[in-house]
Amino acid sequence: MEEIKRLLLEEKDALLSEIREKTGNKNEINNDIGDAIDSSVEEQERELDLLLQDRELARLEGIEIALKRMASDDFGYCDECGEAISKKRLLAFPLARMCINCQSNEERSRLAQNAFSRADYSSQVLGDE
């Protein structure tokens, strides 16, 4: 578990550095007068930065949760079935909260639900015509 904790702490430091760097870059205001295309490109870049920042913050939150679970000895156990998550899986994906079987079942269930929702929507649209 120490190896996994080290990986989590390294990733946390890297994410915090990225966030600090991006925050520092945002403070540099571009005063150039550009055309509508320049403004559009800048707006798209800002939207992408916000999306990436949200992902980084979510990842950071996941790391914090994993570290807290390590401290309370809850780390490494499946949230669904309570069985131990394999060390190989945890090394590959330290934020895993489910064993591979429960994760697979959840993904299959989600895919089936999405397929059902699309089929239901399609039948409603086609039925309206």
Per residue in 13-25, pLDDT (tens digit) is 999 998 888 777 6
pLDDT of residue 54: 87
pLDDT of residue 5: 94
What tens digit of pLDDT does each residue of 54-68 get?
Answer: 899 999 999 999 999
| Boundaries of every domain in the chain | 2-98, 99-129
Q: What is the mean pLDDT of the chain?
A: 85
pLDDT of residue 65: 94
CATH architecture of 2-98: Up-down Bundle (1.20)
* CB-based contact 59:15 (threshold 8 Å): yes
Residue 76: CB atoms within 10 Å: 21
> pTM to 2 decimals?
0.68
Annotate 100-125 with b (16+ C-beta within 10 A) or e (fewer).
Answer: eebbeeeeeeeeeeeeeeeeeeeeee
Helix/strand/coil for 79: coil
